[in-house]
């Protein structure tokens, strides 16, 4: 009898060990609202109406991939997302990911400003664990709601071991994008997101980004959109309001109507930081090779960053320094971080280097990187 009981006990221990071996990853879902939590209303819809509990209950397939718990952080349309919420959200995510029991975080979010939240979180969260933002273009009660499929992909991506150490990710249109490259290029399409080729790649981990743990508010930075005959009134208003910085969303390579540029030079002389970006989705703005002498005039070139992301980086940079040259360094990370990406490709994807017509090429998987003269890179 005693021998029989020992066998039973051994079987229980083995089963318990097997079950623990196959335990699902644990994901914390943080809900902020958006169309994915929206409901139809008249000829349109209202964002941020459905609780995260109901959203998750409507997608039981999620339980096949992860053990989920959740919190309703806020429930707003993402047009109402702001710096105060970003700070609180980043602090909360940092807190969650310090808990060893969690493997990843998924954030439900509206699509209008998801790229901004993702970029902010990428610069202010400090864990290699995956962070995935997910949204939808149709409300939750639509007959063709896209939220459930996006949510499944977001959770599957969050628990994928390959996601560890990447940038904050965004999921829309059943596709995954990274924070540094994603932008919204369509106001209504299901696959509303596209991506640029970024100057740099910066995974969020213990040694990157900005420490916002003790920050309660961010410096004031505005954006001015350029156009033919652009008025100086917006910049005058920002100057009178003592804003710390302004991003000029210029035409072409970051150019501005002459009276605006002249006033921007005066703003720099008074201590305001001026960053030149572009209203063009591709191409970027660089110090060399353009019509504006940033170094002489005291401006800062945004590189590949669109105006909304350049604003975020300037706000965070100003929490650490007011020195223009140091701030330029934050916008000038393309060289070191792109080389870092290539070196990572070499080690992880069995890359090999070749010399082709005098150019140095790195082959990594199905991608080829030309690193000839990368120190002088200005654009794409």
Structural tokens at position 247: 């991003």
pLDDT tens string 242-266: 999 999 999 999 999 999 999 999 9
Residue 35 annotated among the catalytic residues of the structure: yes
pTM, two decimal places: 0.83
Query: According to the model, what pLDDT value does residue 313 have?
Result: 96
Which of helix, strand or coil describes residue 25?
Answer: coil
pLDDT more than 70, % of the chain:
82
Complete edge-to-edge strand list for the sheet that includes strand 104-108: 67-76, 26-33, 104-108, 131-134, 169-172, 175-178
Q: Which of 34-43, 103-112, 259-268 has the lowest mean pLDDT?
A: 34-43
Domain 221-327 has CATH 3.40.50.40: yes
Grade residue 169 by pLDDT with cuts at 50, 70 and 90: very high
Would the CATH topology of 23-195 be identical to that of 221-327?
yes
Query: According to the model, what pLDDT value does residue 343 have?
Result: 38
Query: According to the model, what pLDDT value does residue 2 have?
Result: 52
Query: According to the model, what pLDDT value does residue 252 have?
Result: 96
Check pLDDT > 90 for residue 184: yes
Query: According to the model, what pLDDT value does residue 7 have?
Result: 54
Check pLDDT > 90 for residue 332: no
pLDDT tens string 132-153: 999 999 999 999 999 999 999 9
Q: Is 364 left (phi over 0), alpha (psi -120 to 50) or beta?
A: beta
Check pLDDT > 70 for residue 4: no
Mean pLDDT of the chain: 86
Grade residue 178 by pLDDT with cuts at 50, 70 and 90: very high
Kind of pairing, strands 182-184 and 193-195?
A: antiparallel
Q: Is 250 exposed, middle or buried (0-12, 13-18, 19+ CB in 10 A)?
A: buried
Q: Which of 32, 35, 117, 125 is catalytic?
A: 35
Sequence ranges of the domains in the chain: 23-195, 221-327, 335-376
Least Cα distance to 112 among 90, 93, 88, 137 occurs for 137
Check pLDDT > 50 for residue 299: yes
Query: According to the model, what pLDDT value does residue 220 have?
Result: 98
Query: According to the model, what pLDDT value does residue 207 have?
Result: 74
CATH number of 23-195: 3.40.50.1170
Query: According to the model, what pLDDT value does residue 345 have?
Result: 45
Query: According to the model, what pLDDT value does residue 239 have?
Result: 98
Check pLDDT > 50 for residue 57: yes
Average pLDDT over residues 5-10: 51
């Amino acid at each position: 009898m005693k021998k029989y009981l020992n066998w039973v006990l051994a079987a229980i221990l083995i089963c318990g060990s097997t079950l623990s071996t196959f335990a699902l990853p644990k994901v914390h879902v943080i809900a902020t609202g958006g169309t994915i939590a929206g409901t139809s209303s008249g000829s349109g819809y209202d964002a941020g109406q459905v609780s995260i509990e109901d959203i998750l209950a409507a997608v039981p397939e999620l339980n096949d991939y992860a053990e989920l718990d959740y919190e309703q952080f806020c429930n707003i349309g993402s047009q109402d997302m702001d710096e105060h919420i970003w700070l609180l959200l980043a602090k909360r995510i940092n807190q969650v990911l310090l808990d060893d029991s969690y493997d990843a975080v998924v954030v439900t979010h509206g699509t209008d400003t998801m790229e901004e939240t993702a970029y902010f979180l990428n610069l202010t969260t400090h864990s290699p664990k995956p962070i995935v933002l997910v949204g939808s273009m149709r409300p939750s009660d639509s007959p063709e709601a896209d939220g459930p499929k996006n949510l499944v992909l977001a959770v599957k991506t969050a628990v994928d071991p390959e996601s560890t150490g990447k940038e904050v990710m965004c999921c829309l249109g059943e596709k995954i994008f990274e924070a540094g490259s994603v932008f919204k290029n369509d106001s209504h399409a299901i696959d509303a997101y596209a991506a640029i080729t970024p100057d740099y790649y910066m995974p969020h981990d213990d040694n990157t980004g900005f420490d916002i743990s003790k920050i309660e508010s961010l410096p004031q930075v505005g954006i001015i959109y350029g156009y033919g005959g652009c008025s100086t009134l917006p910049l005058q208003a920002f100057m009178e309001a003592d804003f710390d910085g302004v991003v000029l969303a210029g035409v072409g390579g970051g150019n501005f109507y002459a009276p605006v540029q002249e006033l921007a030079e005066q703003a720099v002389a008074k201590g305001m930081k001026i960053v030149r970006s572009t209203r063009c989705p591709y191409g970027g703005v660089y110090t060399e090779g353009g019509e504006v002498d940033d170094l002489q005039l005291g401006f800062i070139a945004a590189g590949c960053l669109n105006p909304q992301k350049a604003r975020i980086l300037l706000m965070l940079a100003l929490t650490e320094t007011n020195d223009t040259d140091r701030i330029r360094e934050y916008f000038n990370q393309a060289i070191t971080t792109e080389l870092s990406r290539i070196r990572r490709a070499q080690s992880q994807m069995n890359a090999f280097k070749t010399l082709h017509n005098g150019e140095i090429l790195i082959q990594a998987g199905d991608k080829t990187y030309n690193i000839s003269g990368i120190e002088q890179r200005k654009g794409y």
